[in-house]
Structure 1
Amino acid sequence: MTTDFPGGRLTIDLGALADNWRTLRSISPQSECAAVVKADAYGIGLRRAAPALADAGAGTFFVAQLSEAVTARAAAPGSAVYVLNGLPPGAAAAYAAAGARPVLGSREEIGEWAAFVASTDADPSAAIHVDTGMNRLGLSPDEFRAMRAAGGPGFAPALLMSHLACADEPERPETARQRKLFAELRALAPETPASLANSAGTLRPETSEGDLAFDLRRPGVSLYGANPIAGFASPLKPVVRLEARIIQVRDVAAGETVGYGGVERMRRPSRVAVLSLGYADGILRAGGGADGVPGAAAFVGETPCPYVGRISMDLIAIDVTDTPHAQRGDWAEILGDHVGVDDLGRACGTIGYEILTSLGRRYERTYV
């Protein structure tokens, strides 16, 4: 007897994921297109995403932590895997054993890796990260210049990289400044392949013209169907579809409230459907509705059905008054053809990245 009656079902389209990588590669074919698969491939599952991307042609992957690198290497044998969060103290041997390439962003990390390489026959492959304006990770420009003046890091880096801070806002001048500074620093190490563009950087017109592309691009969230540039006509396909089961439909009189705190009062006699998922499943609490402040919307068939009141841990109420056929057992679209990850992100006061990486563990997952 089955006991598996999930409240939500998540469908992940690996074909769309592969097509998105091909689209991003085609934007600037003169540079390599890597794939960022950190955070369990942005929530869709690293073990399934990496082979699909490798089969499409991706040969370089970026993760955040060593454990993710181990998974990526197993899922896509022969690939180059960089670990963005750097080299923890004493971890050099573990990185080498895993075939993982640390992204070194401090003098201490570079010194430790150089000493390890000098003491063993291990592959010295690693990246060096220079900070050009993010002020998060990376050598300062002066530190990098000093290192080059002193003869280099003590090994041959496989990649020189930096990270764009404002590429998702094309009107901001910071991207041009970062690009200029990075080009100046890269000129000090012309023998090393260079990487600057993230998802937003890859999709900007300057990249197709070669200005931001350099030797390797690192798209992340765009692979998964999100649009990192608001208002941009994205060529990418949605990768995830999320549906929630309707577990009850009830009549609510005009003037009555729904949910915790009574923050939303119904303005008309209404039919309210209750869905079997909530913020424990990654649908952020801020996406609920309140009097005068609309929240997110689900779709039942072709009809938008706004969230009503606060989102609970395991339940969401939606207004199905205009969908008379909605009934117990039906499925409502949370993400899909009508609601993109960026749409739901905006309705929840956040971004598509957080929606994707918050996708819950209780869903029935299907890969197609």
Structure 2
Amino acid sequence: MRPLVATVDLAALRHNYQLAKQCAPGRKAFAVVKANAYGHGAPAAVECLRGLADGFAVASLEEAEQVRSVDASAKLLLLEGCFEPNEYAAAAALGLDVAIEGEAQLDALLAADIARPLNLWLKLDSGMHRLGFSADALRRAHARLQGAHQVAELNLMSHFACADERGNPLNEAQLEQFSGLLDLAFDSRSFANSAAVLTLSAAHMDWLRPGIMLYGASPFAELSAETLGLKPVMALTASIIAIRDVEAGESVGYGAGWVAQRASRIATVSCGYADGYPRTAPPGTCVSILGQRAPLAGRVSMDMLAVDITDLPPAALGDAVELWGNEIPIDELAQACGTIGYELLTKVTQRVPRRYING
């Protein structure tokens, strides 16, 4: 078996969910498990949080069906709503809460013949300009839904564009847009993503929507997950599968761009960009071997990468190599590659086996 595994710490996942709840006492929280629980495995994440989470949130009907196969009764929010008119019947059969983000979805809902009414979440475009009604259009939608047989609960939600930038004036502007609709009757309200859960208490409302924080990565460039009290959930670990000595002046890897400045010892490691490790990782990006950091040497290949272990004499064939996890924070790697932890986690491919532990 190829020596590569993504180890998922379910105890850390529970810790991070409970931390989200502690940030906003008395509020409920949807655990966002879209995109296969950010690459961690949605069935395992839902089973782990079953009975602890107040609800779950997903991006599509297919993801909702996967959650329902594990938890038949949890409150389950379809964040982008239904994409086709015939999906409303399926959403009702699954007992979903459903977002309504525009006129087309509203018209399709009101024309739908469904077995039972739905809990609806009207989405306000408060400044993100991605999905949602304008404030005036939302008021009209609210009026149209009053008394409709398709409606059980009627709720309000929106999404921040810059909550990960503390002090950004758009955050306050979006809150003002949201607050301007609070004269309307809603059963519940939801605004706070991970960044707002952690630092923007005015946005906590009735329901939180923690996503990336559940998986132990920080939504902020300037605040580490450790500083925020989050625990890493995934550790991506490979092994040294070959070691060779190269002389000064010899190159390593595709393009021959990395050239040894001294006689060097190079380890080949069983992970590459087809596994989800970023090809954009620059030479010098560190992995952890025997609890010590060692830098990449040359370009990341599809199935392998090379590491300079010259300064790590004890390193040997078969030694574990942490690409990210407890020793190498995923956010550190993401910043080195010009991306974010969200992308790295969701790009861990299916050929990487997930191994689940409880702390």
TM-score (norm 2): 0.93
Q: Give the structure 1 partner of residue 30 of structure 2.
A: 34
Structure 2: 5+ residue stretches without partners: none
Q: Give the structure 2 partner of residue 166 of structure 1.
A: 162
Q: Give the structure 1 partner of residue 197 of structure 2.
A: 202
Counterpart contact for 1:147–1:153, Cα < 8 Å: no
Q: Give the structure 1 partner of residue 106 of structure 2.
A: 110
Counterpart contact for 1:7–1:276, Cα < 8 Å: yes
Q: Give the structure 2 partner of residue 185 of structure 1.
A: 181
The 1:310/1:151 distance shift into structure 2, 3 A limit, reads closer
TM-align CA RMSD = 1.6
Deviation at 1:156, TM superposition (A): 4.6
CA distance in 2, matches of 1:275, 1:260: 15
CA distance in 2, matches of 1:228, 1:151: 35
CA deviations 1:284-332 (Å, max 9, x no partner) are 100131xxxx4x2101112211111110100100111111011111111
Q: Give the structure 2 partner of residue 176 of structure 1.
A: 172
CA distance in 1, matches of 2:60, 2:81: 8
CA distance in 2, matches of 1:187, 1:348: 45
CA distance in 2, matches of 1:125, 1:62: 13
Deviation at 1:365, TM superposition (A): 2.3
Residue pairs, 1:215-294, within 5 angstroms: 215-232=206-223, 233-289=227-283, 294=284
CA deviations 1:77-131 (Å, max 9, x no partner) are 2111111122122221121122222211011111211232xx4441322211111
1:353 matches 2:342: yes
CA distance in 2, matches of 1:267, 1:333: 25
CA distance in 1, matches of 2:171, 2:258: 43
CA distance in 1, matches of 2:172, 2:131: 19
Deviation at 1:151, TM superposition (A): 6.8
Q: Which amino acid aligns with 1:267?
A: Q
Deviation at 1:158, TM superposition (A): 3.9
CA deviations 1:172-225 (Å, max 9, x no partner) are 111111111101123223x33100000001000x31xxx111110000010000
The 1:88/1:103 distance shift into structure 2, 3 A limit, reads same
Q: Give the structure 2 partner of residue 309 of structure 1.
A: 298
Counterpart contact for 2:27–2:206, Cα < 8 Å: yes
Counterpart contact for 1:246–1:274, Cα < 8 Å: yes
Deviation at 1:149, TM superposition (A): 5.4
TM-score (norm 1): 0.91
CA deviations 1:24-66 (Å, max 9, x no partner) are 10111121122000000000101100121123x2121110010
The 1:42/1:327 distance shift into structure 2, 3 A limit, reads same
User: Which of 125, 128, 152 does residue 122 from structure 2 map onto?
Assistant: 128
Q: Which amino acid aligns with 2:308?
A: D
Deviation at 1:150, TM superposition (A): 5.6
Deviation at 1:361, TM superposition (A): 2.1
